[in-house]
Amino acid sequence: MKKTLIASAVAAATFSGAALAQSTMSASELAAKMDSMPTVYGNIQYAIAHDNFDGGPSTINHFDNGSTLGVKHDHEIAPGITGFFKLELEGLNADDKNGDDNGINDGDFAGLTELDEAYIGIKGDSFGQIWVGSDDSTYERAVTEIVEFYEVASLNQGVDYTTGEGDLIQYMSPSFGGLSIWGAVQFNGDDDTKGGSEKSYPYQLAAVYEVDALELAVAMDSNDVSDGNNENTYGLRASYNLDNLRLTGEFHTRKDASDTFGVMGIYTLGANQFALSYEMTQYDEQASEFADLDADTITLQALHNVSDHMYVYFEGYLGGGDDVYEYTDSLGATAVTDERSIASVGAVYYF
């Protein structure tokens, strides 16, 4: 794999030199050559966060908030049919070349050590899109807008579903009058520990309807990966775009686990973006952790686009509810509190 990547880089460099040297190549021929090359993209993300547990510790850290480097490409296989691929790596830890970032998002050692997305697929206007590999799952893309929206997102309420983002075979249909059907199957074979001791094929289904400014989505996850609970997760999202204002509401439920509610508003004013959301999770009595407890989060974001390639932001998180926020006290023991707050500032440069 490494030899292939090196060879591709050498070929690209060779082509660049050759293209410049060929004075007889027409502008259209040069444009066609350039269009055939993969697109390289990436970002550097830095953040500083102050994390405070009510009655407990208070810390401040500077950290890499998810810097990535990727490459993608697509080409026409036949009229109306396009093949595509994407490879995206993260784990750069751009704040500290010597190793662990020691921040809220603790990582390993410096370098592109983690795979974020990697897949290949085909798409066409008549049959939709099918792709295989590691990518955001069908359930996530359809109904989990709020928790995926924020930059630091350390206190946002996570949704209880177990199908991961690897070994996925996903499908998205064309739009039929605004309605599209999505599906995914995770292939856990004999040697894949995600499925436990036996093979498993957890799946997700979703239906997304878009008409004018309204978006409606419903999704489910079979949760067939062993976690002691075979109940499905069901999610519902409704979003509405009104000029510069976007409103979203979500509901997720899983029997014997939890129910999660959320509402969010996003207002865009020129180069500025403001967001406010409220989320609440009610844990069932049968839940193995935080049984019969509640947790909620209020999140505020103010973001400014400095240019087409750079933005800065402030985010504030206030978590409340019952005693669901764990920390380690001065004696090394685990303690809990009913309130936790995080204030963060950050900057992102992307290309």
Q: Class for domain 43-350, per CATH?
A: mainly beta
DSSP helix/strand/coil, 232: coil
Q: What is the pTM of this model?
A: 0.85
Distance separating alpha carbons of residues 152 and 149, to the nearest angstrom: 9
- Alpha-carbon Rg of the chain, whole angstroms? 23
CB 98 within 8 A of CB 65: no
Angle between helices 2-21 and 27-35 (to 10 degrees): 170
Task: Spell out the per-residue pLDDT of the chain, length 351, in tens.
Answer: 333 433 344 344 444 444 444 456 787 777 777 777 899 999 999 999 999 999 999 999 999 999 999 999 999 999 999 999 999 999 888 888 776 544 444 444 456 678 899 999 999 999 999 999 999 999 999 999 999 999 999 889 889 998 989 999 999 999 999 999 999 999 988 777 665 557 889 999 999 999 999 999 999 999 987 677 889 999 999 999 999 999 999 999 999 899 999 999 999 999 999 999 999 999 987 666 677 789 999 999 999 999 999 999 999 999 999 988 889 888 888 999 999 999 999 999 999
Distance separating alpha carbons of residues 217 and 210, to the nearest angstrom: 9
Distance separating alpha carbons of residues 324 and 198, to the nearest angstrom: 33
Task: Tell me which H or E stretch contains 234.
Answer: strand 233-242
Residue 225 CB partners (closer than 8 Å, separation 6+)? 162, 163, 164, 186, 188, 194, 195, 196, 200, 202
The dihedral region occupied by 94, where left means phi > 0, alpha psi between -120 and 50, and beta the remainder, is: alpha
Report how far apart, in Å, the C-alpha atoms of 231 and of each of 58, 139, 187, 223, 224 are.
38, 15, 19, 7, 9
CB 225 within 8 A of CB 188: yes
Q: What string of DSSP letters covers 36-56? A: TSPEEEEEEEEEEEEEEETTS
Residue 144 CB partners (closer than 8 Å, separation 6+)? 159, 235, 237, 250, 252
